[in-house]
Structure 1
């Protein structure tokens, strides 16, 4: 997330700390906990082409992507990007936020959505603490993995409006800071 912030010219807050060689930042920055390689393989092998076609318009600085025909945005690094992504929330039927138990934002969360019969319909890796997606109405199982720890829950996307989902992982061990 630090490299992405630098690319965007975003100044990361001074509360950054290191845990077990991974970056962890305070509430303004987010947290980098590594990439799920299985998820990366899924995305590389089954990503959608034509991401801009029929996607909801994104706010300035946000890029609308697609996976398996589902439009989504992800991010929230820095105050400007967080405000931009929250500004488009009403355009998406599922609005997910990822944090630790101490409130630090996370990124690089491997997110998968399955139908009630177990079919994978969406997969993405977050670029920040927010992932908003245009999920069709119905009942699903949302699975999100961060640093090898999975969180899973059933969700129901309504015909009109949308839902907010918040998933939380344990904070890094207190003695791991270096």
Structure 2
């Protein structure tokens, strides 16, 4: 019995650590478009979607294809989605190609292939992430703050 418990404990710990990430996922399903206020926007030739407050908006954004950078913003131990994050995307030469004020909690961007620096700011805390965009699958950038402290990847 002691062997079974020592074997099961690590499995249970991994499951508990994964649960917050899984709990944030929005279930697939129909979208009531009457409640969705999101539409594709464009800045400097870059198409993007920003929003996702409420189940219908989250589903709407997540069901859109063709965006190769998908960002999500969350906070706290329950991984609650948060809006109001400032986002700046810079190309490899350091030129800003996209600036969004008070974006999120989901931001989907369609970028040309290349390397980009994504600068996110929440409550004055700036974070920088480098992403390589190519012809492969979309790049996921999940930014998580614990209270007012950044924890994400």
Give the alignment's TM-score, normalised by structure 2. Answer: 0.68
Identify the residue that residue 122 of structure 2 maps to in structure 1: 146
Which structure 1 residue ranges, 4+ long, deviate > 3 Å from structure 2?
none
Deviations 1:96-138 (A, max 9, x none): 0011242121111110111222111111134431000111111
Pick the structure with more helix per residue: 2
Superposition deviation, residue 172 in structure 1: 4.5
Say what the alpha-carbon RMSD is for the aligned residues. 2.2
* Aligned-partner SS, 2:62: helix
Checking the alignment, whether the CA contact within 8 Å between 1:97 and 1:131 is kept in structure 2 is: yes
Counterpart in 2 of 1:106? 82
Of 155, 162, 166, the match for 2:131 = 155
Q: Which has the larger radius of gyration?
A: 2
Out of 84, 92, 115, the position equivalent to 2:67 is 92
Q: Does 1:81 align with 2:31?
A: no
Larger mean Cα displacement after TM superposition, 99-108 or 75-84: 99-108
For structure 1, the residue ranges without an aligned partner over 5 or more in a row are: 1-26, 28-58, 174-178
d(CA) in 2 for partners of 1:126, 1:135: 20
Distance in 2 of aligned mates of 1:172 and 1:114: 25
Higher relative contact order (CA 8 A, sep 6+): 1
Aligned pairs, how many?
Answer: 116
Distance 1:139 1:127, change over 3 A: closer
TM-score, normalization by structure 1? 0.59
Conserved? CA contact 1:67–1:124, under 8 Å: no
After TM superposition, the structure 1 = structure 2 runs for residues 7-156 of structure 1, keeping only pairs within 5 Å, are 60=33, 61=36, 62-88=38-64, 90-102=65-77, 103-156=79-132
- Which protein has the bigger strand share? 2
Q: Which runs of 5+ in 2 are unaligned?
A: 1-23, 25-31
Structure 1: distance between partners of 2:110 and 2:102: 15
